Amino acid sequence: GLAYVQASTVPPTMTTKHHQHHSHRTPYTGPTTTKEPFERDNLRFVYDSKSHMMVLTNAHHCYIFTLSDAERQAVHTDIGIRTLELKLLGALSSALPTETPKEQVDAHVVHACGGKITQFYYMP
């Protein structure tokens, strides 16, 4: 079985600036908007109970984590899975992943990663 958790971060896409008029000759045109670049990070965590692996996907990348016995139990509680997710996010910035060809990744893990994944990485 698979357990899915999806997190999405979408910051505001517009900033409104209000201009004051100081002269009756300059008409007030109302607020103007300044477009900022749209930023989105869509992370998905999946625990695969058959392989006992946790995967984190982002765009076309799948990061594969081996879990300890305690972590395998923790994924079944709300606080446990949240704690594990934060740990895995931290590992992305500190650990060096090993890119692995899809053919060398367990079939259950490939399924957990999803059909849009083009790059697979094992995390230490």
Low-confidence residues of the chain: pLDDT under 50: 8-27
pLDDT of residue 50: 95
| Class of residue 55 by CB neighbours under 10 A (exposed 0-12, middle 13-18, buried 19+) | buried
pLDDT digits 0-9 by tens, 27-56: 455 566 677 776 677 899 999 999 999 999
pTM of the predicted protein model: 0.70
Q: Which residues contact 12 (CB under 8 A, 6 or more apart)?
A: 36
Residue 74, pLDDT score: 96
Identify the pLDDT of residue 68.
97
pLDDT, averaged across the chain: 82
Quote the pLDDT of residue 36: 73
Which DSSP state fits 103? Answer: G
What angle is formed at CA 107 by the lines to CA 101 and CA 93, rounded to 5 degrees? 55
Q: What pLDDT does 13 receive?
A: 41
